Structure 1
């Protein structure tokens, strides 16, 4: 009976979130309300709440999670310094004379912006403000322009260094150790954020290649949808001046993690300092703008950690009601074994992606299902990349995908919502193809980490 109370609590959280209440306070408030009623009714042991201070302190003092505010600061500084805007202008002029060239430039800039910010909302909004007017003015199909921007904006979920992968790495590491202890393995292995970064490289680059291929095919078969745009020529100095600084910064941050020279947290610190130096060198960071960037980074960081605190309270109460044991029993009885259990989890995460952001799903759902799936033999790196790709697809899918809402908020009124919905469908199919390919060939995510290690 108590396990079902945990499921009722989960359903209540989803319902309250759909009413528009803040995520962090909904998670914590609903959990504490259910715990209070459970204590009065004799269905909840108050001793579970005694572990709450230690759990909250562990969340705030987690060394891995220190990378989150640093990566956020790095992304905000690059956005405020207009480096992405200059890069888009240069690449647009470089590729504009080609059929589909402007779309190619948008995908490439979106990839670099995703690698520098790691935040889906920031990437979609920035690309929508910078590139959507240019694409529409250049004669691009509204649906193709909207779909390209939404799809490239979601690359921040999978292309490292991604904040989603940082959070997933921390949660999966704890879940992996918990799974091994449950199997009486008392010298548990761990999975690091660096492993997820390396594992995400091949699927992420494959997605970018397929996006570019789709735009090139459309430009060749239906040139009226993606025409060439008359632009001024670009000098080599302009191209190198716009392209080299962000590429060097990303290469230093990601390369230091891949070769083992720095932890993700240390690399994030280097990235934040490097982004600040780039902005100062370009003369695009006066004191008022720097203050605005720091305030924005602080607000986003506070939002993330408040959600982490709320999720910690929720997961503790969920466990106190026996929710984990109920789900474990449910998976063991499910037909299809590990395949059936994984399929159900992926469908659940996909549907939850319509109403919850990746942070809530990472810290509420993954700690519940992760240990169970890994006890059934799933590789934690493969599972993490599958979850990230799944959420990326969910964020694109009409009618509730977050990326669609972000673009709708900055798109001009003359761009109909139906055009946005139509535009993302081909990119959703591309992402589903990659997701299925990763399911069939797990080595796409696990081979490179094994080589690097």
Structure 2
């Protein structure tokens, strides 16, 4: 009987990662070791390695993935410009007078930061340092407070735009095409990032509603767990609320509106988001106020005008009107450039941009190194027959297509205790998803189910990233055990959300069907 090297290879990868070695090196080392072992045993053709350079080139030139560093930069700049602190403080004063009000404000701020930054660590650390001490001072149950902060931070992975959804869109699109080829279809459809963003928007907001309902219900049943605010603070005026909420909302509208409206591709919209974040940061750091405001307005007018009335001076019939319009566009562009320079100058002087650029480089490098090595791993895994084995396992499960999906979701959930969402997305999903699509599951609905499941991996101990971030930012009186127990009800709420999306597929398919 031949050894199931493909399964042993997957188990070895989990073991090596759990030993604490860097993820990208772990994936590459395991893939190399099992490729050589398979070749020595005569079950792997080393000629397959000839496809490796082509795979790496395809990843590095993928136009969808180029949006990742821009979205990361947008989130890091917003986090370091302290816009999150303004939001938290204002919302806390707005809702603090009601039972559970601080918890509601944490969830609402988490949702706004999720849509504007998309970075779990930034949101959890900011709220762990600002909101968590405030809740403890006002008598909140430490477990509930820790659970709310950790959970609110993870909303950045399900509410678009997010890095998870960009990676997931690319993986699901490739899997969808692979499934169609397997079915004999050669005029294939694809899944865009815009469709994935649209599909995840309603379920993401549904999660926020579920969390808030739970917090208010718990505050009503157990008043001592989430009492009204004891600290007497002046309720914010309408102008203060708008001043705190409007900047991130405008940025969200610009980025998501551009993608869902078909005005810009994901990487173009990510560029808009990064420039918008830099302008907001410059304004927040005391840059030339009117220069930045006028320049931002000029860029906005230029974006709409150039879309409605594009100018092509290379045409032979271009006349005086076209040259005059081009001059107007050039003037608007100069105003925008002046605003960007003023914002960058203020951000560099306050020490924001250099750390933001460094953190963007680190996060982007980690993501791309993992994706590249996962491509290597999957090549070896497929060469050892793993792809056919996974398909055979799914098809042999009782319950048909439903049984296979239950198994796949449970497997992803369990792996989330030990692996990061990037590793699960780029290693496991290309193997699991094509058979599920062939069995008849809608790929967009499937993408949202998997996204909510992967979001849970940030909360599940022992290796949930959100738990680690909160542990580093929480006061000493909040123990690790309190954090673990605090997130348990919210993990249950994640499962409830997955069940609702499963039972009502329109939650994830209605908006992309309407927009696209």
TM-score tier, shorter chain, comes to over 0.9
Q: Which residue number in structure 2 is paired with residue 178 of structure 1? A: 178
SS of the residue corresponding to residue 66 of structure 2 reads helix
Structure 2 counterpart of 1:362:
425
Q: Which residue of 1 aligns with 2:100?
A: 100
Confirm or deny that 1:250 pairs with 2:239: no
Partner Cα separation in structure 2 for residue 36 and residue 117 of structure 1: 43
Structure 2 counterparts to residues 320-399 of structure 1, below 5 A = 320-399=383-462
Indicate conservation of the 8 Å contact 2:90/2:240, yes or no: yes
Report what 1:272 is aligned to: 274
Three-state SS of the structure 2 residue aligned to 1:286 is helix
Cα distance between partner residues in 2 of 1:333 and 1:233: 61
Contact 1:97/1:231 (<8 A) preserved = no
Counterpart contact for 1:3–1:322, Cα < 8 Å? no
Relative distance call for 1:2 and 1:154 in structure 2 (3 A) is: farther
Deviation at 1:289, TM superposition (A): 1.9
Q: Which runs of 5+ in 2 are unaligned?
A: 287-346
Aligned to 2:342: none
CA shift for structure 1 position 152: 0.9
1:31–1:313 Cα contact (<8 Å) kept = yes
- Per-residue CA deviations over 1:308-344 (Å, capped at 9, x if unaligned) read 1110110111011110011112222221111111111
Query: C-alpha distance in 2, partners of 1:290/1:354?
Result: 34
Is contact 1:389–1:435 with CA below 8 Å preserved after alignment? yes
1:3 deviates by 8.0
For 1:3 and 1:325, the matched residues in 2 are separated by: 15
Aligned residues of 2:88 and 2:127 also touching (Cα < 8 A):
no
In structure 1, the gaps of 5 or more residues are none
CA contact (8 A) 2:93 2:234 kept: yes
Alignment partner of 2:499 out of 413, 431, 436 = 436
Q: Per the alignment, in what secondary structure is the counterpart of residue 160 of structure 1? A: coil
CA distance in 2, matches of 1:281, 1:119: 22
2:151·2:459 contact (CA, 8 Å) conserved in 1?
Answer: yes
Structure 2 residue 77 is the aligned partner of structure 1 residue 77: yes
Quick one: distance in 2 between partners of 1:300 and 1:383?
A: 27
Contact 1:398 1:404 in 2 (8 A): yes
Corresponding position of 1:259 = 261
Shift in Å, 1:416? 2.1
1:395 positional shift? 2.6
Q: Report how far residue 226 of structure 1 moved.
A: 1.5
What is residue 151 of structure 1 aligned with on the other side?
A: 151
Q: Distance in 2 between matches of 1:239 and 1:448?
A: 29
Contact 2:100 2:226 in 1 (8 A): yes
Contact kept, 8 Å, 1:78 with 1:84, in 2: the verdict is: yes
1:122/1:327 CA distance change after superposition, 3 Å? same
1:201-212 matches, within 5 Å, as 201-212=201-212
Write the distance in 2 (CA, Å) between the matches of 1:399 and 1:351: 12
Q: CA deviation at 1:417?
A: 2.3
Count matched residues.
453
Residue 348 of structure 2 is matched in structure 1 by 286
Q: CA deviation at 1:2?
A: 6.9
Instruction: Indicate yes or no: 2:65 matched with 1:68.
Output: no
Q: 1:11 to 1:388 in 2, by over 3 A?
A: same
Q: 1:23: which partner in 2?
A: 23
Provide the residue aligned with 1:238 in structure 2.
Answer: 240
Q: Tell whether the 8 Å contact from 1:168 to 1:362 is kept in structure 2 after alignment.
A: yes
Q: TM-score, normalised by structure 2?
A: 0.85
Say which is worse superposed, 401-410 or 333-342, in terms of deviation. 401-410
Shift of 1:123: 2.3
CA deviations on 1:404-424 (whole Å, 9 max, x unpaired) are 222122212211223222222
For 1:174 and 1:430, the matched residues in 2 are separated by 31
Q: Which has the higher contact order (CA 8 A, sep 6+)?
A: 1
Larger mean CA deviation between 391-400 and 315-324 belongs to: 391-400
Partner of 1:190: 190
Looking at structure 2, the residues matched to 52 and 286 of structure 1 have their Cα atoms a distance apart, in angstroms, of 41
Q: CA RMSD in A?
A: 1.5
Q: 1:425 aligns with which of 488, 503, 506?
A: 488
Of structures 1 and 2, the larger Rg is shown by 2
For 2:480 and 2:514, how far apart are their aligned partners in 1? 45
> Is 1:415–2:415 an aligned residue pair?
no
Task: Write the distance in 2 (CA, Å) between the matches of 1:86 and 1:149.
Answer: 16
CA contact (8 A) 1:6 1:322 kept: yes
Structure-2 separation of matches of 1:186 and 1:75: 39
Structure 1 pair 293–174 and aligned structure 2 pair: CA distance change class (3 A): same
Partner-residue secondary structure (3-state), 1:261: coil
Summarize the Cα distance change of 1:312–1:141 in structure 2 as closer, same or farther, 3 Å threshold: same
Render the CA deviation track for 1:274-316: whole Å, top value 9, x for unaligned.
0000000111623432111111111110111111111011011
Give the TM-score normalised by the residue count of structure 1. 0.97
> What is the CA-CA distance between 1:399 and the residue it aligns to?
4.3
Indicate if the aligned counterparts of 1:91 and 1:105 stay in contact, CA closer than 8 A: yes
Conserved 8 A contact 2:77-2:352: no
Rate the CA distance shift 1:296–1:394 in 2: closer, same or farther, 3 A.
closer
- For the 8 Å contact 1:3–1:323, the answer to whether it is kept is no
Q: For 1:275 and 1:255, locate their aligned partners in 2 and report how far apart those are by CA, in whole Å.
A: 16
Q: Is the 8 A contact 1:128 1:149 kept in 2?
A: yes
Q: Distance in 2 between matches of 1:102 and 1:247?
A: 21
